[in-house]
Amino acid sequence: MNSQNIYDDNEFFRLYSILNSKPNGAPDSIPTFRFLEKIKSTKTQPKIQCVLELACGNGWFSNYMATKENVKSVRAFDLSENMLDLAKRIHSHPVISYELADMETIQLPNQSFDLGFSSLALHYVLNFKSLVQSIHQSLNPGGHFFAIIEHPIYTAPTVREWIPNTQDPPSTGSCNMTRGEMIWPLYDYQVEGDRVVDWIVNGVLKRHRTMSTYLNIFMDCGFDIRGIEEFSPPTMELNNTVHLEIDRHRPKFLILSVQKHIE
């Protein structure tokens, strides 16, 4: 089966480039550095010298690891030739190797990386357990993998739009929501599988998994869960970006940090 490759569609890539050029257009860096510092402070984490990035996009994380963390090597994979061309143009570095690969079929080398990272890509993957197994065997003992994923509460509904509350609050209890306030329609949470949604263009295929499925697959593949965060915009960012205020009412992103056993 061929993987969806919307980033090499010219119209999608044009619109995506406009979106990503706006202030706060991408949420990746906000929690990433916090998780990275926690991983670096873990006593059982090996010194980070060799890094893996899956779905590297424009290469900002790989570039950060090369220029700020002074790692020895980064292998950065992406399915999109457009994104790889962009990464090579704006985030080229001697220790970074940008490579074309499909996460559905990628075969990673055994025990070659001290750290792995992926941002906003795992919710596109069909053969998720197979990918996690490949990531696990590619890490050195004690190595971490961390990822930003669309939150299952966000991926569950097919129509991802806030809707107005049509009910009055109960006469007793602590609920203070009033009629007309916007609410998130959570349904089909336990129905895992494909979700065809409109994002930048119509008909984008993503995968919905529950929180327990994500966690259990990582644990079944031999990882220990080290950190979980249900991310919403911090107050500082809300002060600068009014349209993000509503995102405080439901998490849009899930950040997971896992570690490979040390035998």
Concatenating the DSSP letter of every residue in 51-65 gives: EEEES-TT-HHHHHH
pLDDT at 21: 55
User: Does a structural domain hold residue 125?
Assistant: yes
User: Does a structural domain hold residue 183?
Assistant: no
User: Does a structural domain hold residue 25?
Assistant: yes
- What is the span of the domain harbouring residue 76? 6-157+188-260
Total domains in the chain come to 1
User: Does a structural domain hold residue 64?
Assistant: yes
Q: Which amino acid is at 263?
A: E
Per-residue pLDDT tens digits for 201-255: 788 899 999 999 999 999 999 999 999 999 876 654 545 554 567 777 888 899 9
pLDDT at 223: 98
CATH of the domain at 93: 3.40.50.150
Per-residue pLDDT tens digits for 97-110: 999 999 999 999 99
Is the model's pLDDT at 25 over the cut of 60?
Answer: no
Measured between alpha carbons, how far is 177 from 102 in angstroms, rounded to an integer?
45
Residue, of 23 and 83, whose pLDDT is higher: 83
pLDDT at 178: 72
Measured between alpha carbons, how far is 75 from 214 in angstroms, rounded to an integer?
24
Compute the average pLDDT of residues 78-85.
Answer: 94
Measured between alpha carbons, how far is 144 from 10 in angstroms, rounded to an integer?
35
User: Does a structural domain hold residue 170?
Assistant: no
Average pLDDT, the chain: 87
Residue owning tokens 């050195």:
140
Measured between alpha carbons, how far is 25 from 201 in angstroms, rounded to an integer?
16
The model carries a pTM of 0.89
User: Does a structural domain hold residue 70?
Assistant: yes
User: Does a structural domain hold residue 166?
Assistant: no
User: Does a structural domain hold residue 224?
Assistant: yes
Is the model's pLDDT at 165 over the cut of 70?
Answer: yes
Compute the average pLDDT of residues 142-161.
Answer: 94
Residue, of 199 and 47, whose pLDDT is higher: 47
